[in-house]
Amino acid sequence: MQNALSVSIIPYGRQSINDDDVAAVVDALRSDFLTGGPKVEEFECAFAARVGAKYAVAMNSATSALHVAMLVGGVKPGDRVVTSPNTFLASANCAAFVGAIPDFSDIDPISGNLDPIALERGWRDDTRAVVAVAYAGQPCDMPAIAQIARAQGAVVIEDACHGVGSALFHAGRVWPVGGHPWADITIFSFHPVKTMTTGEGGMLVTNNAAWAAEAKRLRSHGVERCEFTGLGADTDPELAERGPWYYEMQALGWNYRITDIQCALGLSQLARLDEFIARRRAIVGRYDQAFRNLHWLARQGVCPPAKPELTSWHLYTVQIDFTALCKTRTEVMHELRAKGVGSQVLYIPVHLQPWYRKTYGYAKGKCPKAENFYRRSLSLPLFPAMGDEDINRVVEAVLSLGNRCI
């Protein structure tokens, strides 16, 4: 290490903010609206157009959007909601928010995504929704998942928090995530480690007009200002006078609103999305090339209908045979860190979390492929602001991981 800069740690992910992003936020701060203003709808319209969906509803996080998806999708207490164990907690927690039972189906070990065969085999009659997670940005086999779920009357929610800008290839055509017909609702996250950011933020997209309207009500206290039910006005003349002040609370809602400040940043980041994706793909290409001959490392695999060139990679996760190196994962992470390379493990299988064990009785062995994926996985730095020297540093650090067996 020659200088102070070279010992800084390259994180596994981080945002990319330029002067245009800063200017957009400053403009929003100087405008009349910090929240509830025109930037929210502008961002929603631009985002819906980008992903090819009819409606987009922006919220303060993808977690909120997943909760709202459960509500508009009609998931009720006691219903079962099946998701992948190889995901962030929120993909499963959303089911528990509405009193449903989060359940897990095992993954395909190549893609790290839900395996449609396992999903069908383990299907239970009380399953009301499937939350299909696009791990690392790679879409699941959505046509197969939708066929299984819809035959049973279940709602398909695609958790595309990793997959802003991804697409899949099916029946000779490219179908964008958010705009293909095999998800009823698609969720995106704009947390700073994700592909584009609003600080905190999320988006629910759907082609269902009634669900989009309901999602907008639920994000703001269940309040409706246009389409009234008039419930109570038949017997109370005071309520019949619906003056300009009038509003109705028609459902129990939350404050899941996003601000104009965040949406101004979102619009600016959306304009840079193609550039972000191109850079991510280029970095993945460099890593894949550099790591192709390591017998103790397996690169991220891609399964149809996903294609590498249609995936906007959020993570670069490799599978390492730590026993072949005679090292623990902790030792490998320390060794990388000493060379200025951060790494992360994504994810601990959700069903093995203490709360899931004690609440639902889940235990090791429930999803062996996901458990094995977790045991060997390590995510390396991947973000558009990485320079070529950062990429080289990661490559060299991985290639020089010593083998202690010999």
Ligand X SMILES: *Cc1c(COP(=O)(O)O)cnc(C)c1O
- Residues 6+ positions from 192 with CB-CB distance below 8 Å: 14, 15, 199
> In this chain, which of 39, 67, 128, 162 binds ligand X, going by CB under 6 A?
162
Edge-to-edge strand ranges of the sheet holding 185-189: 55-59, 202-206, 185-189, 155-159, 127-133, 80-83, 101-104
For residue 321, give the 3-state DSSP assignment.
coil
Q: How far is the CB of 55 from ligand X (least distance, A)?
A: 19
Site string for ligand X, 186-215 (x = CB under 6 A): ---x-x----------x-------------
Give me the least distance between CB of 88 and ligand X, in Å please.
4
The H or E element that residue 237 is part of is helix 237-240
| Whole-number Cα distances in Å, 115 to 97, 278, 363 | 25, 28, 20
Cis peptide preceding 349, ω within 30 of 0:
no
Report which of 336, 335, 332, 315 is spatially closest to residue 376, judged by C-alpha positions. Answer: 332
Letter for the amino acid at 231? L
Q: Which is nearer to ligand X, 16 or 91 (CB)?
A: 91
β-sheet with 377-380: strand ranges across? 297-298, 316-320, 377-380
Q: Which is nearer to ligand X, 40 or 397 (CB)?
A: 40
CB of 348 to ligand X, least distance (A): 13
| Residue closer to ligand X (CB basis): 90 or 386 | 90
Task: Mark residues 79-98: x for contact with ligand X by CB under 6 A, - for none.
Answer: --------xx-xx-------
**Interacting positions 47-76 with ligand X (CB under 6 A):** 61-63
Of 92 and 325, the one with the shorter C-beta distance to ligand X is 92
- Rank residues 92 and 397 by Cβ distance to ligand X and give the closer one: 92
In the complex with ligand X, the residue whose CB is nearer, 63 or 379, is: 63
- 175 touches 167 (CB < 8 A): yes
Count of residues in contact with ligand X, rule CB under 6 A: 14
Q: Are 207 and 55 in contact (CB under 8 A)?
A: yes
Q: Could you give the CA distance from residue 192 to residue 116 in angstroms, rounded to a whole number? A: 31
- Which residues share a beta bridge with 82? 103, 130
The residue written with tokens 């249609």 in the block is 310
Closest distance between ligand X and the C-beta of residue 87, in Å?
A: 5
Q: Please give the Cα distance from 351 to 127 (Å, whole number).
A: 17
Tell me the closest approach of the beta carbon of residue 259 to ligand X, in angstroms.
14
Site for ligand X in 128-157 (CB under 6 A): 133
Shortest distance (Å) from residue 237 CB to ligand X:
45
Nearest CB to ligand X, comparing residues 162 and 366: 162
* CB burial of residue 372 (10 Å; 0-12, 13-18, 19+): middle
Query: Nearest distance from residue 76's CB to ligand X, in Å?
Result: 22
Strand, coil or helix: what is 69?
Answer: helix
Min separation Cβ 99 and ligand X, Å: 20
For ligand X, give the closer residue by CB, 317 or 391.
317
Of the candidate spans 158-166, 293-301, 378-386, 391-399, the one that interacts with ligand X by CB under 6 A turns out to be 158-166
Sole residue written with tokens 């395909």? 108
Cα separation of 138 and 111, whole Å?
Answer: 8
CB of 25 to ligand X, least distance (A): 18
Q: Is 324 helix (H, G, I), strand (E, B) or coil?
A: helix
Residues 6+ apart with CB under 8 A from 234: none
* Choice between 211 and 256, CB closer to ligand X: 256
Interaction of residue 159 with ligand X, rule CB under 6 A: yes
Residues near ligand X (CB under 6 A): 61-63, 87-88, 90-91, 133, 159, 161-162, 189, 191, 202
